Amino acid sequence: MNIIIIEDEIKAARSLENMIAEVRPQAKVIAKLQSIESSLAYLSENVMPDLIFMDIQLSDGLSFEIFKSVKISCPIVFCTAFDEYSLEAFKANSVDYVLKPFSKTDIADAFKKVDELRNFFQQKVVPNIDELLTKTAPPTGKKSFLVFKNNKYINVATDTIAFFYIRNELSTIMCFDQQEYILNQSLDQISSLLSPVDFFRLNRQYIVNFSAIKEIEHYFMRKLFVKLTIPTPEKLLINKEKAPIFLNWMDNR
Protein backbone atom coordinates (compact mmCIF):
# COMPACT_ATOMS: atom_id res chain seq x y z
CA MET A 1 0.00 0.00 0.00
CA ASN A 2 1.43 3.36 -1.09
CA ILE A 3 0.61 6.25 1.19
CA ILE A 4 0.98 10.05 1.03
CA ILE A 5 1.08 12.28 4.10
CA ILE A 6 -0.04 15.89 3.65
CA GLU A 7 0.94 17.72 6.85
CA ASP A 8 2.67 21.08 7.33
CA GLU A 9 4.10 20.26 10.78
CA ILE A 10 7.31 18.28 10.27
CA LYS A 11 7.22 16.63 13.71
CA ALA A 12 3.58 15.61 13.28
CA ALA A 13 4.30 14.13 9.83
CA ARG A 14 7.28 12.19 11.19
CA SER A 15 5.25 10.90 14.15
CA LEU A 16 2.45 9.82 11.84
CA GLU A 17 4.91 8.06 9.53
CA ASN A 18 6.35 6.14 12.50
CA MET A 19 2.88 5.09 13.66
CA ILE A 20 2.02 3.89 10.15
CA ALA A 21 5.23 1.82 10.09
CA GLU A 22 4.29 0.19 13.40
CA VAL A 23 0.62 -0.41 12.58
CA ARG A 24 1.02 -1.41 8.91
CA PRO A 25 4.68 -2.46 8.26
CA GLN A 26 3.94 -3.47 4.67
CA ALA A 27 2.73 0.04 3.81
CA LYS A 28 5.10 2.57 2.25
CA VAL A 29 4.98 6.34 2.71
CA ILE A 30 6.00 7.53 -0.75
CA ALA A 31 5.70 11.28 -0.12
CA LYS A 32 5.32 13.82 2.68
CA LEU A 33 3.90 17.12 1.49
CA GLN A 34 3.55 20.34 3.49
CA SER A 35 1.31 22.66 1.47
CA ILE A 36 -1.56 22.94 -0.99
CA GLU A 37 0.88 24.04 -3.70
CA SER A 38 3.24 21.07 -3.29
CA SER A 39 0.29 18.66 -3.01
CA LEU A 40 -1.25 19.91 -6.25
CA ALA A 41 2.09 19.59 -8.03
CA TYR A 42 2.66 16.05 -6.78
CA LEU A 43 -0.86 14.76 -7.37
CA SER A 44 -0.97 16.26 -10.86
CA GLU A 45 2.25 14.57 -11.95
CA ASN A 46 2.20 11.22 -10.16
CA VAL A 47 0.07 8.09 -9.89
CA MET A 48 -2.66 8.31 -7.28
CA PRO A 49 -1.62 6.56 -4.02
CA ASP A 50 -3.69 3.92 -2.26
CA LEU A 51 -4.37 6.16 0.75
CA ILE A 52 -3.78 9.75 1.87
CA PHE A 53 -3.42 11.00 5.44
CA MET A 54 -4.28 14.69 5.23
CA ASP A 55 -4.21 17.58 7.68
CA ILE A 56 -6.86 20.25 7.06
CA GLN A 57 -5.14 23.49 8.04
CA LEU A 58 -1.96 23.77 5.96
CA SER A 59 0.55 26.60 5.76
CA ASP A 60 -1.11 28.10 2.67
CA GLY A 61 -4.79 27.43 3.42
CA LEU A 62 -7.32 24.65 3.97
CA SER A 63 -6.54 21.36 2.25
CA PHE A 64 -10.07 21.24 0.80
CA GLU A 65 -8.69 23.62 -1.86
CA ILE A 66 -6.78 20.66 -3.30
CA PHE A 67 -10.02 18.96 -4.35
CA LYS A 68 -10.99 21.94 -6.50
CA SER A 69 -8.02 21.37 -8.83
CA VAL A 70 -7.24 17.65 -8.63
CA LYS A 71 -9.58 14.66 -8.69
CA ILE A 72 -8.59 12.40 -5.79
CA SER A 73 -9.94 8.87 -6.19
CA CYS A 74 -8.29 7.17 -3.22
CA PRO A 75 -9.59 7.08 0.37
CA ILE A 76 -8.54 9.88 2.73
CA VAL A 77 -7.99 9.93 6.48
CA PHE A 78 -8.18 13.47 7.81
CA CYS A 79 -5.95 14.18 10.82
CA THR A 80 -6.68 17.56 12.38
CA ALA A 81 -6.81 19.49 15.64
CA PHE A 82 -10.26 20.86 14.81
CA ASP A 83 -13.66 19.17 14.77
CA GLU A 84 -15.46 21.86 12.77
CA TYR A 85 -14.72 20.35 9.35
CA SER A 86 -16.32 16.91 9.62
CA LEU A 87 -19.06 17.69 7.08
CA GLU A 88 -16.57 18.93 4.45
CA ALA A 89 -14.39 15.89 5.13
CA PHE A 90 -17.39 13.60 4.67
CA LYS A 91 -17.84 15.05 1.16
CA ALA A 92 -14.17 14.51 0.24
CA ASN A 93 -13.61 10.73 0.13
CA SER A 94 -13.08 10.65 3.89
CA VAL A 95 -13.07 7.23 5.54
CA ASP A 96 -12.03 8.58 8.94
CA TYR A 97 -11.65 11.86 10.83
CA VAL A 98 -8.93 11.66 13.48
CA LEU A 99 -8.49 14.46 16.00
CA LYS A 100 -5.02 15.47 17.16
CA PRO A 101 -3.23 14.46 19.26
CA PHE A 102 -3.89 11.02 17.75
CA SER A 103 -2.55 7.71 19.01
CA LYS A 104 -1.35 4.49 17.41
CA THR A 105 -4.78 3.04 18.19
CA ASP A 106 -6.45 5.85 16.20
CA ILE A 107 -4.24 5.10 13.19
CA ALA A 108 -4.90 1.36 13.51
CA ASP A 109 -8.65 2.04 13.58
CA ALA A 110 -8.31 4.21 10.48
CA PHE A 111 -6.59 1.38 8.60
CA LYS A 112 -9.33 -0.99 9.75
CA LYS A 113 -11.96 1.28 8.20
CA VAL A 114 -9.97 1.46 4.96
CA ASP A 115 -9.75 -2.35 4.88
CA GLU A 116 -13.48 -2.70 5.53
CA LEU A 117 -14.24 -0.29 2.71
CA ARG A 118 -11.99 -2.16 0.25
CA ASN A 119 -13.45 -5.53 1.26
CA PHE A 120 -16.94 -4.18 0.87
CA PHE A 121 -16.41 -3.17 -2.75
CA GLN A 122 -14.40 -6.27 -3.60
CA GLN A 123 -17.31 -8.46 -2.48
CA LYS A 124 -19.59 -6.64 -4.93
CA VAL A 125 -22.62 -7.01 -2.69
CA VAL A 126 -25.61 -4.74 -2.33
CA PRO A 127 -24.75 -2.31 0.48
CA ASN A 128 -26.61 -2.17 3.75
CA ILE A 129 -27.41 1.55 3.54
CA ASP A 130 -28.10 1.98 7.26
CA GLU A 131 -24.80 0.36 8.24
CA LEU A 132 -22.82 2.31 5.65
CA LEU A 133 -24.27 5.62 6.78
CA THR A 134 -23.57 4.79 10.41
CA LYS A 135 -19.89 4.20 9.63
CA THR A 136 -19.27 7.19 7.37
CA ALA A 137 -21.73 9.96 8.23
CA PRO A 138 -20.60 12.85 10.42
CA PRO A 139 -21.94 12.78 13.99
CA THR A 140 -25.51 14.06 14.35
CA GLY A 141 -25.04 15.14 17.94
CA LYS A 142 -27.07 14.81 21.12
CA LYS A 143 -30.83 15.19 20.57
CA SER A 144 -31.74 16.60 24.00
CA PHE A 145 -30.38 17.50 27.43
CA LEU A 146 -31.94 16.38 30.70
CA VAL A 147 -32.07 19.32 33.14
CA PHE A 148 -33.44 19.88 36.63
CA LYS A 149 -35.46 23.02 37.33
CA ASN A 150 -38.21 23.89 39.82
CA ASN A 151 -37.92 20.42 41.37
CA LYS A 152 -38.61 18.77 38.01
CA TYR A 153 -36.53 16.94 35.43
CA ILE A 154 -37.09 18.36 31.95
CA ASN A 155 -35.82 17.25 28.53
CA VAL A 156 -34.67 20.25 26.52
CA ALA A 157 -34.50 19.49 22.78
CA THR A 158 -31.14 20.49 21.36
CA ASP A 159 -32.67 22.26 18.35
CA THR A 160 -34.51 24.63 20.74
CA ILE A 161 -31.21 25.80 22.25
CA ALA A 162 -29.81 29.10 20.94
CA PHE A 163 -26.53 28.91 22.82
CA PHE A 164 -24.63 27.48 25.76
CA TYR A 165 -22.58 29.81 27.93
CA ILE A 166 -20.83 30.21 31.27
CA ARG A 167 -22.81 32.21 33.85
CA ASN A 168 -21.52 32.53 37.40
CA GLU A 169 -19.02 29.73 36.59
CA LEU A 170 -21.86 27.36 35.64
CA SER A 171 -22.65 25.94 32.19
CA THR A 172 -26.01 27.34 31.17
CA ILE A 173 -28.48 26.65 28.36
CA MET A 174 -30.25 29.58 26.73
CA CYS A 175 -33.21 28.56 24.57
CA PHE A 176 -34.75 30.53 21.73
CA ASP A 177 -37.69 31.34 24.03
CA GLN A 178 -35.07 32.76 26.48
CA GLN A 179 -35.66 30.08 29.09
CA GLU A 180 -32.45 29.17 30.94
CA TYR A 181 -31.30 25.87 32.45
CA ILE A 182 -28.17 24.86 34.36
CA LEU A 183 -26.05 21.88 33.28
CA ASN A 184 -23.47 19.95 35.30
CA GLN A 185 -21.13 19.38 32.34
CA SER A 186 -18.32 21.73 31.33
CA LEU A 187 -18.48 23.51 27.96
CA ASP A 188 -15.75 21.16 26.71
CA GLN A 189 -17.92 18.16 27.54
CA ILE A 190 -21.02 19.78 26.04
CA SER A 191 -19.15 20.65 22.84
CA SER A 192 -18.14 17.01 22.36
CA LEU A 193 -21.81 15.98 22.50
CA LEU A 194 -23.07 18.45 19.89
CA SER A 195 -23.21 18.19 16.11
CA PRO A 196 -20.25 20.15 14.66
CA VAL A 197 -22.52 21.02 11.76
CA ASP A 198 -25.10 22.78 13.93
CA PHE A 199 -23.03 24.21 16.79
CA PHE A 200 -19.77 26.18 16.97
CA ARG A 201 -17.53 26.97 19.95
CA LEU A 202 -17.01 30.73 19.54
CA ASN A 203 -14.68 31.09 22.50
CA ARG A 204 -14.13 29.78 26.03
CA GLN A 205 -17.49 31.16 27.16
CA TYR A 206 -19.96 30.44 24.33
CA ILE A 207 -21.19 27.66 22.02
CA VAL A 208 -23.79 28.89 19.52
CA ASN A 209 -26.42 27.27 17.33
CA PHE A 210 -26.13 28.13 13.63
CA SER A 211 -29.86 28.89 13.58
CA ALA A 212 -29.37 31.55 16.26
CA ILE A 213 -26.87 33.61 14.27
CA LYS A 214 -28.33 36.82 12.85
CA GLU A 215 -25.29 38.61 11.43
CA ILE A 216 -21.52 38.95 11.70
CA GLU A 217 -19.47 42.15 11.77
CA HIS A 218 -15.77 42.96 11.61
CA TYR A 219 -14.40 44.15 14.93
CA PHE A 220 -11.17 45.65 16.27
CA MET A 221 -7.91 43.68 15.95
CA ARG A 222 -9.35 41.57 13.10
CA LYS A 223 -11.87 39.94 15.40
CA LEU A 224 -15.45 39.08 14.46
CA PHE A 225 -18.53 40.30 16.32
CA VAL A 226 -21.38 37.75 16.16
CA LYS A 227 -24.94 38.94 16.71
CA LEU A 228 -27.68 36.45 17.57
CA THR A 229 -31.43 36.55 17.09
CA ILE A 230 -31.87 36.87 20.87
CA PRO A 231 -29.92 39.10 23.26
CA THR A 232 -26.72 37.87 24.93
CA PRO A 233 -25.27 39.02 28.26
CA GLU A 234 -22.10 40.25 26.52
CA LYS A 235 -20.61 40.77 23.08
CA LEU A 236 -19.78 37.55 21.27
CA LEU A 237 -16.28 37.97 19.84
CA ILE A 238 -14.11 35.56 17.87
CA ASN A 239 -10.35 36.14 17.78
CA LYS A 240 -8.49 36.60 14.51
CA GLU A 241 -6.99 33.09 14.60
CA LYS A 242 -10.39 31.39 14.82
CA ALA A 243 -12.23 33.81 12.50
CA PRO A 244 -11.35 31.98 9.22
CA ILE A 245 -12.46 28.65 10.73
CA PHE A 246 -15.77 30.17 11.81
CA LEU A 247 -16.42 31.77 8.41
CA ASN A 248 -15.66 28.48 6.68
CA TRP A 249 -18.16 26.77 9.02
CA MET A 250 -20.78 29.42 8.12
CA ASP A 251 -20.24 29.00 4.38
CA ASN A 252 -22.05 26.61 2.03
CA ARG A 253 -25.26 26.15 3.99
Sequence-ordered list of residues with C-beta below 8 angstroms from that of 87, at least 6 positions apart, any chain: 138, 196, 197
Chain length of the chain: 253
Q: Which of 87, 55, 80, 96 is nearest to 198 (CA)?
A: 87
- Pick from 102, 136, 170: which residue ends a domain? 136
User: Domain holding 82: CATH number?
Assistant: 3.40.50.2300
Torsion of CA 107, 113, 114, 120, to 10 degrees: 170
The parent domain of residue 238 ranges over: 144-250
216 and 236: one domain?
A: yes
Q: Mean pLDDT, the chain, as a whole number?
A: 86
170-208 tens-digit pLDDT: 999 999 999 999 999 999 999 989 998 999 999 999 999
Closest by alpha carbon to 193, among 90, 87, 83, 107? 83
pLDDT-derived band at 79, boundaries 50, 70, 90: confident
pLDDT at 215 over 70: yes
CATH for 159: 2.40.50.40
Based on the domain organization, do 97 and 162 belong to the same domain? no
Cα 137 to Cα 128: distance, rounded to the nearest angstrom: 14
Total domains in the chain come to: 2
Band (pLDDT 50/70/90 cuts) for residue 91 is low
Compute the average pLDDT of residues 34-45: 91
116 and 75 assigned to the same domain? yes
Domain closes at, from 77, 104, 136:
136
Taking the C-alpha atoms of residue 169 and residue 150, their distance in angstroms, rounded to an integer, is 20
**pLDDT at residue number 129:** 46
Are residues 37 and 126 located together in one domain of the fold? yes
Residues 74, 161: one domain?
Answer: no
Same domain, 123 and 185: no
For residue 126, what pLDDT is reported? 47
By the 8 A CB rule, do 88 and 80 touch? no
Q: pLDDT of 53-76, one tens digit each?
A: 999 889 888 888 998 888 888 888
Compare 94 and 186 and report the one with higher pLDDT: 186
Mapped onto helix, strand or coil, the DSSP state of residue 184 is coil
Burial 36-68 (b: 16+ CB within 10 A, else e): bebbbebbeeeeebbbbbbbbebeeebbbebee
Lowest mean pLDDT among 4-18, 112-126, 228-242: 112-126
Residues 233 and 210 in one domain: yes
Position 120 scores a pLDDT of 59
Same domain? For 76 and 185 the reply is: no
Q: Do residues 170 and 49 share a domain?
A: no
Check whether 116 has a pLDDT greater than 90: no
SS3 20: helix
Same domain, 148 and 194: yes
Do 24 and 53 lie in a common domain? Answer: yes
pLDDT score of 93: 61
- Is residue 129 domain-shared with residue 192, that is, in the same domain? no
pLDDT at residue 186 in the model: 93
Cα separation, 78 vs 96, whole angstroms: 6
80, 104, 136: which is the final residue of a domain? 136
